[in-house]
Amino acid sequence: HHRRRPQQRSSAPSAMGSSKHTFIDIASGTAGGIAQVMAGHPLDTIKVRLQTQIPGPDGKLPFNGMVDCAKKTFAKEGASGLYKGAASPLFGAMAHNAGVFFSYGQAKKFTGATEPGSELYRFFLAGSLAAIPITFVETPVDLLKIKLQSQVGEGK
């Protein structure tokens, strides 16, 4: 004799709840991407310019450090110089973070990390899985950003 297992109620969210969580994941990631670029891009631009600077005819480097680079960039190009190349990472960070939040939400469902008291390894596995698809967005965006940031010139 085969005994039938009693049917258990599914703790999975309804289709309506699932799409609501998906929207929240994507909107939160998008907002996080905007904040990330607005706060961090000027420092990233300075870092790239310091890393890619070439000595002039006199053998001296154009910048003597972070503060000097920021002052000279602002004096020569204005605030827009600190945000040079920001469009690419802005859209990239919006897509990247939205993708990470979405992928992590889906991966938590896949690994069973959505239940209260889920084992820690399930969250670790979900985070690891979420990073895989985002690599395809991040790499080309970062390459374009670095190429634009390393251009030193007059601001508009």
**3-class SS of residue 138:** helix
Q: Give the pLDDT mean for 39-44.
A: 94
Residue bearing the bigger pLDDT, 11 or 72: 72
Smallest CA-to-CA distance from 101 within 33, 35, 38, 40 is with 33
Separation CA 119–CA 49 (nearest Å): 45
Terminal-residue alpha carbon distance, the chain = 82
The per-residue pLDDT for 50 is 94
* Whole-Å CA distances, 105 to 36, 109, 129: 20, 7, 11
- Amino acid in position 68: D
Residue bearing the bigger pLDDT, 63 or 142: 63
The per-residue pLDDT for 93 is 84
CA angle at 145 for the pair 140 and 149, rounded to the nearest 5°: 155
Tell me: the pLDDT tens digits for 3-39? 444 444 444 444 445 788 888 888 988 999 899 999 9
**Tokens representing 21?**
């969580």
Residue 151 has pLDDT above 80, yes or no: no
